[in-house]
Chain A
Amino acid sequence: MKLVMAIIKPFKLDEVREALTPLGVQGLTVTEVKGFGRQKGQTEIYRGAEYHVSFLPKLKIEVAVPGDLVEAVVEAIATTARTGKIGDGKIFVLDVERALRIRTGETDDSAL
């Protein structure tokens, strides 16, 4: 089992979700996050007072998948979330030790 964690541009969420569903992904978690990478921040001006905002809004999606699905999932996210411009985000893949579906008590792959 792996956890695929991706930081993407917010407006790309629907495309990513549509690309993942046919692969057999049963669910995912989305969080609104802020952060910085190579993309420069933005300058905001309020009545002449300038603020440089270096943390930009992004979405973090987390999807736990059986090991054999990882490559397809990573590929799908990378393809759909890409605009080619700086700030497209990153994908991380982590090992998952255990999983458990709370309602039924199923564990590991059958819980995903």
Chain B
Amino acid sequence: MPQVLNLMTTEPKPMRTALAKARGAAALLPALLLAGPALAQDAAPTVNSGDTAWMLTSTALVLMMTIPGLALFYAGMVRKKNILATLMQSFFLAALLSVVWMVAGYSIAFGEGGAYFGDFSRLFLSGIAANWDAPFSLGSGDGAVAFTIPETVFVMFQMTFFIITPALAVGAWADRIKFSALVVFAVLWSLLIYAPVAHWVWHPNGWIFALGALDFAGGTVVHINAGVAGLVGALVLGKRTGLGTENMSPYNLAFAVIGASLLWVGWFGFNAGSAGSAGGRAGMAMLVTQLAAGAATLAWVFAEWITKGKPSVLGAISGAVAGLVAITPAAGFVLPVPAVIIGLVAGLAGFWGATALKHWCGYDDSLDAFGVHGVCGIVGALLTGVFAYGPLSGTTADPAGISGSFSQFMIQVYAVAATFVFTAIGTFILLKIVDVIIGLRVTEEEEREGLDVSLHGERLG
């Protein structure tokens, strides 16, 4: 692997942790820490214990975002009769998608493959026994990206992203999706939509990677993907029975506050972990993540206070999530002041997406998967192209890195549009297939009774 050369282990830390810039392309992986181009001819890459420790920690943090973070965040916003069913969606998906990732997801997303799809060479993680304690290298040839962590850690870290994305999308379908349909859909969607998009954006062979689009931790792959899937699902499923006439207020917003808080803290693993190492870039990613979450909370709360008269708790936690979503693609590329700007814009955009947009358009995105994740994912992806500060993504081979510019902004627009269209069409087709085979929606009687009893035979309290 002549081109997959690492920096010497004796390199000073700031150099070692500089994120790689793929050769010949401005694209960046979420986790590229070392330059592909040859910098040191004789040093064999080694596993760095500090980097590995941070990535193990980050992985646990990201899993915590789904269980119990997202599970509680969503369950807190539904009516009492659907709380257990909503918790079950996140919890079960965490289990199911772990196995699916091992069987085929990883191979499709990160197998060598071509520009659009991985391959089947890594089914069942085949080959992991041979290099289990060697440093991992993603891709091959000129564009390969070398890590200082073992592949097992890379597999696990990426698995947690694979898990959370469909779990985010189902928030749009809360209170009415059939559990059996959800299970089948999640397997199909994860393998046929998520894994290919992850390959496009994060694998050095991927066409969006080659295009030079920036997505540090998953603005397109996770949030736009989940948001658009949620939107399409909400349109296909139709509105909840009684929407607009019955009281659908959240049963326990305290659950949602705990869930949102766990999401916030877990997001440090999501974003700072996407540096792929423990260094300056991870530090900056964590800092800007906190700032954007704070700024977006302020924006949402004050917007609501001014327009609706009261600063709500649900508004505050929604604002925080909006900011965290928007900073996701930008985290390893921007400085603190732009992070606050991104947060403020995201807070307003999320407020608009969740309170105005869906009412104008008339779809029932129950828990605002599109209104928050879709809308703010787009805001963050686009603003990354505006505010990127070059040196953060610089490497020894290319110290200038990638800075915001009009051309970079247009690349971001293109990447967002491509993801949007692909996911929308693909999700629609998969939903229709599952609808024909199983049926997507519970009966009106089951919906009225509540999914806890009708689908799971249990009741809260």
| Residues of A that sit less than 8 Å from B by CB | 44-49, 51, 53
Within the complex, the shortest CB–CB distance from B46 to chain A, in Å, comes to 50
Q: Beta-carbon contacts of B344-375 to A below 8 Å, as 1s and 0s?
A: 00000000001110010000000010010000
A-B interface contact total, Cβ < 8 Å: 27
Contact across chains for A45 and B308 when beta carbons are under 8 A apart: yes
Q: Beta-carbon contacts of B31-54 to A below 8 Å, as 1s and 0s?
A: 000000000000000000000000
Contact across chains for A46 and B359 when beta carbons are under 8 A apart: no
Contact across chains for B249 and A44 when beta carbons are under 8 A apart: yes
A46–B368 CA distance with the chains assembled, in angstroms:
12
Residue B315 is within 8 A (CB to CB) of chain A in the complex: yes
A53–B249 CA distance with the chains assembled, in angstroms:
10
Contact across chains for B249 and A48 when beta carbons are under 8 A apart: no
Known pairs A45-B308, A46-B312; A51 contacts B247 (CB<8 A): yes
Q: Beta-carbon contacts of B56-97 to A below 8 Å, as 1s and 0s?
A: 000000000000000000000100000000000000000000
Within the complex, the shortest CB–CB distance from B188 to chain A, in Å, comes to 30
Q: Which B residues lie within 8 Å of A45 (CB)?
A: 308, 310, 312
Q: Which A residues lie within 8 Å of B310 (CB)?
A: 45
Closest 5 CB pairs of A and B: A48-B355, A47-B354, A51-B247, A51-B249, A45-B308
27 CB contacts below 8 A, A to B, read A44-B249, A45-B308, A45-B310, A45-B312, A46-B77, A46-B249, A46-B250, A46-B312, A46-B314, A47-B314, A47-B315, A47-B318, A47-B354, A47-B355, A47-B368, A47-B371, A48-B308, A48-B354, A48-B355, A48-B356, A48-B359, A49-B248, A49-B249, A51-B247, A51-B248, A51-B249, A53-B247
- Among residues of B, the one whose C-beta sits closest to the C-beta of A49 is B248
Q: Which B residues lie within 8 Å of A46 (CB)?
A: 77, 249-250, 312, 314
Within the complex, the shortest CB–CB distance from B256 to chain A, in Å, comes to 10
Known contacts A46-B77, A46-B250, A48-B354; 19 further A-B pairs (Cβ under 8 A): A44-B249, A45-B308, A45-B310, A46-B249, A46-B312, A46-B314, A47-B314, A47-B315, A47-B318, A47-B354, A47-B368, A48-B308, A48-B355, A48-B356, A49-B248, A51-B247, A51-B248, A51-B249, A53-B247
A49–B359 CA distance with the chains assembled, in angstroms:
9
Within the complex, the shortest CB–CB distance from B33 to chain A, in Å, comes to 39
Within the complex, the shortest CB–CB distance from A36 to chain B, in Å, comes to 14
A44–B249 CA distance with the chains assembled, in angstroms:
8
Within the complex, the shortest CB–CB distance from B307 to chain A, in Å, comes to 9
A57–B310 CA distance with the chains assembled, in angstroms:
21
- Among residues of A, the one whose C-beta sits closest to the C-beta of B243 is A49
Within the complex, the shortest CB–CB distance from A35 to chain B, in Å, comes to 16
Q: Which B residues lie within 8 Å of A51 (CB)?
A: 247-249
- Among residues of B, the one whose C-beta sits closest to the C-beta of A45 is B308
Q: Which A residues lie within 8 Å of B368 (CB)?
A: 47
A53–B250 CA distance with the chains assembled, in angstroms:
13
